[in-house]
Amino acid sequence: MFKKILIANRGEIANRIIKACSELDIISVAIYSEADKNALHVRRADEAYFIGPSPANESYLNKEKIIDLAKKIGADAIHPGYGFLSENSEFIRMVEEAGITFIGPSSQSVKMMGEKTSARRLMKSHNVPIVPGTTEPIKNVEEGKKSAAEIGYPVMLKAAAGGGGKGMRKILNEDDFESSYSQAKNEALKAFGNDDVYLEKFIENPKHIEVQILADKFGNYIHLFERECSIQRRHQKVIEEAPSISVDDSTRKKITTAAVNAAKACSYYNAGTIEFLMDKKKDFYFLEMNTRLQVEHPVTEMITGVDIVKLQIKIASCERLTLKQEDLKIHGHAIECRIYAEDVDNNFAPSTGKIIHHKLTSGPGIRIDYGIDLMSQVSIYYDSMLAKVIAWGIDRDEAIVRIMRALSEYQISGVITNTPSFTWMLKQKTFLDGTFDINFLENEFFPLLPGKWKDGSTNDAEEIAAVLGALLKLQERGTTLSNNQITNNNQWRKQQYD
């Protein structure tokens, strides 16, 4: 087993990996940029090293610096988390050549799947169904327009090196092609350092279903069932569940088999996820493979009892998978809500600032994976996800009421978060009966922006805000309030039990 693991990431996922290291008795090493000096992962890791200025390409994306540091401090493995360098085959190759173990798949597997167009060709040849579209990157606007016309509008423009919705655009007609093309290319270049894009037919009203795969370096493959990730905004997932309410036993058998075949096609090892689009007839199409740990891995951990991050580390250190497919069962239901620093009613504008208050919640079935704490800085440089609230219940209904409770108790202040919007989403009929698809937010939530979705549900809290506002203003103005109106520790608090 490894002695020291360098975690080439930040935020909640760096903290998640630190916990796994701690349980495996491995020394965890954090790296941090200028903006992250006070970040939580820096405080929690056994060792922490400054890596560079705040912009990601000078810190968390700086391959040479990270590898040099790993060598210098004697780290025997690097965990990339998700995003940043996690799916960068060049980085993985450099790590391999430096004699350090990369906790993830081989650079060859990542290269095969990471370049989305070659992945599509590979899947096609292994009889995994793919979305109709191009299997080569688009060379210029004219060629793109020609292909788009052949496929038929609307089409999706996607980054060949992409993921997470970055460098992705839906194009309705030829007039919009050129501007979408250049925006997607710019975003792709910035997010992934590669501006290749390709086209896919736009599939109407699908669900996003994905399958978690685990494989060791000895050719043993298992799947950990599916996740439903259809609640998305601009291709960023917002709510994820396991299992999916729309996947029946026979579909589950087909889609998990296809996923295992996809993993075998690229001689995959470690944890990976095969994403599919599933239409109303429950036909599914390969979308892409994420050759890394997923943000939403906790819902799978909750229903299977498997610690995916620890298994990643064990697999990387050449241990065999002892889990057998027939031993795995779906137990109960899990839901995850992603807490983003964004102002839902102001066009989802990212909110930045210093965290001045952070109070977690707990209780039956609740887990919170978070990357912030008091005084940590939420900056414009990185992804705006602050935390993930995860609930487990014996069935879907119980998971839903539990997550609603937890969301109302979880307090973050200093930045504006999307937390209250979940109380609306989790109550909608289409969410509850499972008929929602990836357009749920666009069709049902967006028309209620700004503010209308709150629809009276906040009246009481609004009155409290008004009264407190008046009392604080009065206090500021230096007017003396009578004793029982504001004191630092007044009578009724003293009545509380210790």
Partner 1 sequence: MTEFVITINYRKHTVKVSENSSVEIGDKKVETEISQISNNFYLIRFGNSVFEVIANKLDRDKYGFLIDGFYFETIIRTQLEETVIELQKKKSKIRHHSDVKAPMPGLLLKLKKGIGDQVSLGEPLLLLEAMKMENELRSPASGRVKNIFFREGQSIEKDAIILTIE
φ and ψ of 49, to 5 deg: -125, 135
Q: Which residue, 317 or 352, is less far from partner 1 as judged by CB?
A: 352
Contact pick of 447, 488, 497, 498 for partner 1 (by CB under 8 A): 488
Query: Binding to partner 1 by residue 495, rule CB under 8 A?
Result: no
12: closest CA among 332, 367, 361? 367
166 has which bridge partners?
163
E-strand stretches of 191-308: 197-201, 207-215, 221-233, 236-242, 270-278, 284-290
247 has which bridge partners?
none
The encoded tokens of residue 449 equal 């922006």
The encoded tokens of residue 16 equal 């998640």
Among the listed residues 16, 120, 292, 402, the single catalytic one is 292
Torsion from C-alpha of 160, 165, 167, 171, nearest 10 degrees:
100
Say which residue the tokens 């016309």 belong to. Answer: 149
* Measured distance CA(198)–CA(200) in Å, rounded: 7
Least CB distance to partner 1 at residue 166 (A): 6
Q: Which residue, 325 or 408, is less far from partner 1 as judged by CB?
A: 408
Query: Binding to partner 1 by residue 57, rule CB under 8 A?
Result: no
Q: Which residue, 1 or 471, is less far from partner 1 as judged by CB?
A: 471
Per-residue interface string for the shown chain with partner 1, residues 371-410, x marking contact by CB under 8 A: ---------xxxxx----------------------xxxx
- DSSP summary character for residue 341: S
Contact 430, 444 (CB under 8 A): yes
Tell me the number of residues near partner 1 by CB under 8 A. 64
Query: Binding to partner 1 by residue 413, rule CB under 8 A?
Result: yes
Say which residue the tokens 């599933």 belong to. Answer: 278
377: closest CA among 31, 7, 30, 40? 40
Only one of the segments 98-106, 115-123, 326-334, 352-360 lies at the binding site for partner 1 (rule: CB under 8 A); that segment is 352-360
Contact pick of 18, 69, 160, 191 for partner 1 (by CB under 8 A): 191
Per-residue interface string for the shown chain with partner 1, residues 140-179, x marking contact by CB under 8 A: --------------------------x-------------
292 tagged catalytic = yes
Q: Which residue, 394 or 464, is less far from partner 1 as judged by CB?
A: 464
Catalytic residues: 292
Footprint of partner 1 on this chain (CB under 8 A)? 166, 183, 186-187, 190-191, 234, 343, 346-347, 349-352, 356-357, 380-384, 407-414, 416-417, 419-420, 423, 451, 454, 458, 460-474, 479, 481-482, 484-490, 492-493
